[in-house]
Amino acid sequence: MWFVQPKQDYVSQMPWKHVDESAVVNWQIRARNYNTSAANALFSVFFLISLGGGYFMALVDESPLVSFLIGGGMFTLFMLIAMSMTHQTSILVYRFTEQNAEVCSWKPQMDSVKPFLKWSAIILMPIVLVLILMDPSLLITSLGPLTMGFAAWMMGSSKGYQEMARGSQYEEIDWTKTEQIKVWRKRSIISLTYQWKPFKRNSSYRPRTHLIYCLPEELDERIQFFKEHLPNAKYEEGKIEVF
C-alpha cells in the first residue's frame, strides 16, 4: 500500500525550471498537507459506518467462520476506502536557490492503490469461488473481488482520473520577498508571507502565504536557514491555519 512504499530521492528527478541556478538547500517530505483534524473526524464517522456495514454483512450466513470472513473482509475494504479519502499524503520536493524557490508535489496513492486492488482481487477470487461451490448462497461474496478488479481497471484505463488522483502541482515561491516567517512546531510547518500581484495588469498587491512542510528532526535547521537568508522578515511561532 501507499504507506509502505520504499524511500527514494526525487530531487534529481523533478522538472526544475531554474536548473541553471545552484541550489542552496533542497529536501523532500511526505506529508498530509491539509487540515488533519477535520480529516480525522471524518475518518471516525467512516469507521462507525464501516463497522456497521461489516456487522450487517456478517449476518448473511450462520457459520461463524464464513460470517467472520465476509464481515471482516467488508470492514477491511470499507476502511481502506475511507483511509484513501481521509489519510492521503503528498510528496513535496523543495529546491531553494539564492533568488528562486520551487516546489513539486503529487499524491503517491495512485501509484500503489491500483496494484493493491488488482492483486487483492486476483488472490480473493479463487477463495470466493471455493466458498460459492461449497454454498451457492454465498454468491454475494463475489462482489468484493469484482469491485476491486473493476476499480483497478478504471484506474488503469482513465488517464484523466490518474492525473486528477495524483494531483501533481508545480509552484514557484518568491521567498526573497518574505515579510513574515511563522512556525507551527506541532506540525513542523513554516509559513512564508509576502506581497504579490495576482495579475500583471490592473491588480494591487496582496498578501500571499506559502506553507513549507519540514521533517520534525530538520525543523530547527530550516528555521535557521530562513532566519539567515531573510534577516528583515518578522519571525513568530504559533498555530498556522491549514485548509
Tell me the chain's radius of gyration from C-alpha atoms. Answer: 24
Identify whether 102 is part of a domain: no
Same domain assignment for residues 163 and 181: no
> Residue 7: inside a domain, yes or no?
no
Quick one: 152 and 191 in the same domain? no
Q: What is the pTM of this model?
A: 0.75
What is the three-class DSSP state of 121?
A: helix
CB 81 within 8 A of CB 148: no
Domain match, 114 and 130 both: yes
Residue 26 placed within a domain: no
Q: Quick check: is 209 in a domain?
A: yes
Total number of domains in the chain: 2
Do the Cβ atoms of 172 and 102 come closer than 8 Å?
yes
Task: Going residue by residue through the chain, which has 243 residues, state the pLDDT in tens, using 9 for 90 and above.
Answer: 444 455 788 998 899 999 999 999 999 999 999 999 999 999 999 999 989 888 887 887 677 877 887 788 888 878 877 887 788 889 999 999 999 999 999 888 766 666 666 767 777 777 777 767 777 766 666 666 767 666 666 655 555 555 545 568 899 999 999 999 999 999 999 999 999 887 777 668 889 999 999 999 999 999 999 999 999 999 999 999 998
Q: Report the C-alpha gap between 28 and 12 in whole angstroms.
A: 11
pLDDT, position 1: 41
Residue 18 lies in a domain: no
* 159 membership: H or E segment, kind and range: helix 159-166
**Domain identity same for 48 and 124:** yes
Quick one: pLDDT at residue 67?
A: 80
Query: pLDDT at position 234, please?
Result: 97
Q: Do 75 and 60 share a structural domain? A: yes
Same domain, 74 and 184: no
| 21 occurs within a structural domain | no
How many Å apart are CA 239 and CA 216, to the nearest integer? 16
Report CA torsion sign: 33, 36, 39, 43. Answer: positive
66 and 184, same structural domain? no
Contacts of 90 (CB under 8 A, 6+ apart): 30, 31, 32, 33, 105, 106, 107, 108, 167
156 and 38: one domain?
Answer: yes
Residues 51 and 69 in one domain: yes
Please indicate, yes or no, whether residues 192 and 80 belong to a single structural domain of this protein: no
Residue 2 lies in a domain: no
Give the residue among 77, 96, 134, 52 at the shortest CA–CA distance from 221.
Answer: 96
Which of 150, 168, 186 is at the close of a domain? Answer: 168
Which of 120, 147, 168 terminates a domain? The answer is 168
Which residues, 6 or more positions from 238, have their beta carbon under 8 angstroms from its beta carbon?
Answer: 182, 183, 184
Give pLDDT, residue 151. Answer: 66
One-letter amino acid identity for 226? F
Q: Is residue 193 part of a domain?
A: yes
pLDDT value at residue 147:
72
Alpha-carbon gap, residue 206 to 71, rounded angstroms: 54
Same domain, 66 and 133: yes
Final residue in a domain of this structure, among 126, 141, 168: 168
Q: Strands 101-106 and 180-184, how do they pair?
A: unpaired
pLDDT of residue 160: 53
- Strand pairing class (234-237; 180-184): parallel
Give the domain extent around 208.
174-237
